[in-house]
Amino acid sequence: MPGRKIYSAELNLEIVERYLKGDIGIKKLAQEYHVGYGDIQKWRDAYQEHGVEELSTAHGTYTGEFKVSVVGYIDYYNNKRIKAKLKGLSPVQYRLQSLSVT
């Protein structure tokens, strides 16, 4: 399965502006620029609802600080959080105990 393509904000804006002029349809633009029909629809909707800023937002990119906080939460959730249903153990402790019993 091919990966998801990422297009520049400039290209997104160029395509949306051409569409909004009204002289070309989404299907023709998709063929001309070799992009997905649905992508153009999403860009158009984002532009109309939020403006140019939404087109330049890099979705799926996170700061290092955010990534570190997620890793910290995962560690807490798996190793430090105790659960009554797991006999007062963390999920990892419970799993290790279950595996050692057999």
pLDDT in tens, 84-97: 898 899 999 999 99
Mean pLDDT confidence for 35-39 = 92
Has residue 2 got a pLDDT over 60?
no
Give the model's confidence band at 1: pLDDT under 50 very low, under 70 low, under 90 confident, else very high. Answer: very low
d(CA 84, CA 36): 49
d(CA 79, CA 93): 7
Better-scored residue on pLDDT, 61 or 42: 42
Assessment of whether the complete model's pTM goes beyond 0.85: no
Q: Is 51 left (phi over 0), alpha (psi -120 to 50) or beta?
A: left
d(CA 85, CA 70): 24
**In this predicted structure, which of 4-8, 13-17, 21-25, 38-42 has the lowest mean pLDDT?**
4-8
Q: Residues for the chain: how many in total?
A: 102
Which of 35, 6, 54 shows the shortest CA–CA distance to 15? 35
The predicted structure's pLDDT at residue 75: 94
